[in-house]
Structure 1
C-alpha cells in the first residue's frame, strides 16, 4: 500500500499530545507528515511545521488556510488529525469532513450532543471516516480482553468496574495556573471537567471491551477544590444494554495516583483485570480456577491482540504504540477505500464518531444527574434511542 498523506491541526511546540500523535502516525511508515497548522500563532505554527520537515507551502497559519491550500492540491492529505482546544473540535472536524477528508479528532469530539449528532450524520452522508482518539483501546491486551469476552470466555457479563483517577490537579495553589484553570471553566470546558476529560476514556473502555452500550446512569459529582465551578471528582453508576452493571470513578485530586486508567470485568464464569500503567499483563480468573497472568506477545492470543503487538514479550509497551495502532487501523481502512478492497476486519476497532457522540451524551447525562442528586438519566444520544 502506498504511503498516505497526513496533516495535523494543533499539537504545536510545547503541546502535550502533539508529539504522541506525530510519533504514532509515523511509526509504521504508513503516513507522510506533509501539512500542518500547528499553533494559534500563525507564524509560530508555520515555523514549527517547517522545523518538523513540512514544506513551506504546506506549513499553514491556521486551519482555514490549510483547508483552502489542501483543496487546491492533487496530492492533498488523506487524513487530518484535529488536536486543538476542545471548543474548536466541532467546527474544524465538520469543515474537513464536508470537504471530503478523513478525520481523526481528539476527544471530546464536540462540546454538545447536538454537535455530535451533526458530525455522525455528516460522516455517514460523506462516507468519510471520522475517528475519535480513545487511544487506549489500541493496547494489545485491551483488544485481547475484548476478544475473550466476545468469544464467551467469561460467560454472560455481570459487572464492569473502571477507573481513571489521578492527582495532578490536587494542589489548590494551581487554581490560577492557565494549564489547569481552563479545564474547570464552563466557558472553555463545557458542562463537565474531570468526567469529560478522563471519565469518558473509562466509560468508552467499558463499552469497547464488553461490546455493550451505556443506556442510563446516575452520577455524584464534586468540586473538592472549592474554587472550581466544574467537578474534579465523580462517581458514576451505569447500566448497559445487555444488562451489565457498571461502576466508574474518576478524579483529578487523588494524590498518589499517576495515570490511573484501569478496568475489571466480571462474568458468570470468570473475571479480567487490566491497568494502563502495567499494560503488558492481563489478569484472568476462571470460576473455581487459579489466577492466570496473560502476557502481551505470548503465543496463542487472539488475532486482534497479535495485530496490535509491536515489541517482543517482556519489553515495555507504551502509550504511543497504542495510539499507533489506531493510526494503523485508519491506514488500513483508508487504503482499502482507495484501492476498492475490503479492509482487514481487525482494523475496524478504531473508535468512531458514534463513540464520540455516545461520550458526549454521557457527559451531558453526568452533568444533569450530578445537579439532581444522582437522578438516573438516559445516557443515550437522542438519535440512538
Structure 2
C-alpha cells in the first residue's frame, strides 16, 4: 500500500512535542515525513528540516509551505500543526481552505468564535480536522470506552478526572520566561492550567463516557499570587446523559508528575486508569473482587486489540498513543480517497467539534471562577 505524505508545522529542534509526533506518524509506515516548516526562524527551520531529510520541502515559514504544497501534485495528505497556541487558528484555517487535512495540537483555537469557524469550515470543505487529544489513543482508554458503551458497569453515575502536576510549584520560578508565559493572558488567553491540562481530562471523560458536558461550576485560584491566571482549578460538571462529573487540575501539586487519571463509577461497577501506569485498567464489579485488566491480554475489545502494539507485560507509552491517533487518521484519509467505510474501531480520533467544546469549557470555567462558582452553560452556541 502506498504511503501517505505527511508534513509538520512547528515541532522543530528542541521541541517538547515534535519528536512524539514524528515517532507516532512514522511508527506504522502509513506516512512519509516529506515536508515541514519546523521553526519560526526561517533559516533554522530550513536547516533542521534538511537534516531531517526534507530536502527542497523544508520551508522557512508555514506560508511558504502552504504555497509550495498547494502547487505540488504530490502534496501532503495530512499536515500537523504544532506551533504556539495563538497561531493554531490561522494556520489550520488556511490549510483547510486550501483542501488539506489537518491535525492540530490543542487548544485548537483561542476563542469559541474561532472554534465554530473551524468546525463549519471542516464540514463545508469535507476535509478532516482532528485535534490532538493524544491520550485517548491509549489502548486501555479505548477499552474503557468500549466497556462503558457495552454496559459492563451499567449506567454511569459519576466520572472523576484529574490532571495535576507540581512542575510550576516553585514561587521563585514564577518569573522564569519558560514558565511565566503559561500564565500570561496575552499569550494563552483567559485560562492557564485548565486550558493547558484540564481540557485533556475533560475530553477524556467525555470520550470514555460517550457524553458531552452541558454545564459546569468552577473554583479557580492562583496559589502563587503573582500569577494573573489560575494554577489550580476544581470543576464540577454535568453531562448530557445524566452523569455527574468532578475534575481537578493543578500545576502546583508537588509530588505529582503527570497526574492524568480517570475513574468512572456505574450502577454495577467501577473503572480506574492512570496515564503513568497505562498498561493496567482496574475494574471493580458490584459485589465482586477487584480485577486488573492488562493491555495486550486476550479477549479485550476490538478497540483495545487494534491499538495494542507490543506483547503483554511490556510498557507502551505516549508516542504509541499518538501513533494510534495517526493510525486512525491514515485509515480515515484512505477511506476519504476511496469512498469506503472506516473500521468503527478506528473511527475514534478527536474531531474539530471536540476542540470547539473544549474551548467553550475553557471560557465557562474562567467565567465561573470569576463569579464564585456560578453554574454556567459549557456548550458552544452552535451546539445549544
Q: Give TM class, smaller chain.
A: over 0.9
What is the SS of the residue equivalent to 2:53? coil
Q: Where does residue 251 of structure 1 map in the other structure? A: 250
Q: Give the whole-Å Cα distance in 2 for the aligned partners of 1:323 and 1:178.
A: 28
Q: Where does residue 24 of structure 1 map in the other structure? A: 24
* Counterpart mapping for 1:117-128 below 5 A: 117-128=116-127
Within the alignment, does 1:308 sit opposite 2:278 as a pair? no
Offset at residue 174 of structure 1 (A) = 1.4
Q: Where does residue 203 of structure 2 map in the other structure? A: 204
Q: Give the whole-Å Cα distance in 2 for the aligned partners of 1:343 and 1:52.
A: 32
What is the SS of the residue equivalent to 1:246? strand
Within the alignment, does 1:50 sit opposite 2:53 as a pair? no
Q: Where does residue 153 of structure 2 map in the other structure? A: 154
Q: Give the whole-Å Cα distance in 1 for the aligned partners of 2:357 and 2:351.
A: 10
* Counterpart mapping for 1:284-299 below 5 A: 284-299=283-298
Q: Give the whole-Å Cα distance in 2 for the aligned partners of 1:51 and 1:260.
A: 35
Q: Where does residue 182 of structure 1 map in the other structure? A: 181
Q: Give the whole-Å Cα distance in 1 for the aligned partners of 2:207 and 2:162.
A: 15
Offset at residue 342 of structure 1 (A) = 1.3
What is the SS of the residue equivalent to 2:225? coil
Aligned length: 384
Q: Where does residue 320 of structure 1 map in the other structure? A: 319
Q: Where does residue 360 of structure 2 map in the other structure? A: 361
Q: Where does residue 12 of structure 1 map in the other structure? A: 12
What is the SS of the residue equivalent to 1:280? strand
Q: Where does residue 168 of structure 2 map in the other structure? A: 169
Q: Give the whole-Å Cα distance in 2 for the aligned partners of 1:39 and 1:233.
A: 31
Q: Give the whole-Å Cα distance in 2 for the aligned partners of 1:65 and 1:45.
A: 12
TM-score (norm 1): 0.99
What is the SS of the residue equivalent to 2:103? strand
Q: Where does residue 340 of structure 2 map in the other structure? A: 341
Q: Give the whole-Å Cα distance in 1 for the aligned partners of 2:109 and 2:177.
A: 22
Q: Give the whole-Å Cα distance in 2 for the aligned partners of 1:173 and 1:225.
A: 10
CA deviation vs aligned residue, 1:305-346 (integer Å, no higher than 9, x gap):
000000100000100000000000000010111122112111
Q: Give the whole-Å Cα distance in 1 for the aligned partners of 2:26 and 2:281.
A: 28
Q: Give the whole-Å Cα distance in 1 for the aligned partners of 2:159 and 2:344.
A: 26
Range that drifts further, 173-182 or 138-147: 173-182
CA deviation vs aligned residue, 1:63-103 (integer Å, no higher than 9, x gap):
00000000110000000000000000000000000100000
Q: Give the whole-Å Cα distance in 2 for the aligned partners of 1:294 and 1:131.
A: 29
Q: Give the whole-Å Cα distance in 2 for the aligned partners of 1:372 and 1:381.
A: 19
TM-score (norm 2): 0.99
What is the SS of the residue equivalent to 1:375? coil
* Counterpart mapping for 1:124-139 below 5 A: 124-139=123-138
Offset at residue 177 of structure 1 (A) = 1.6
What is the SS of the residue equivalent to 1:250? strand
Q: Where does residue 39 of structure 2 map in the other structure? A: 39
What's the C-alpha RMSD, in Å, of the aligned pairs? 0.5
Q: Give the whole-Å Cα distance in 1 for the aligned partners of 2:173 and 2:300.
A: 45
Q: Where does residue 280 of structure 2 map in the other structure? A: 281
Consecutive unaligned residues in structure 1, runs of 5 or more? none
What is the SS of the residue equivalent to 2:281? strand
Q: Give the whole-Å Cα distance in 1 for the aligned partners of 2:263 and 2:109.
A: 28
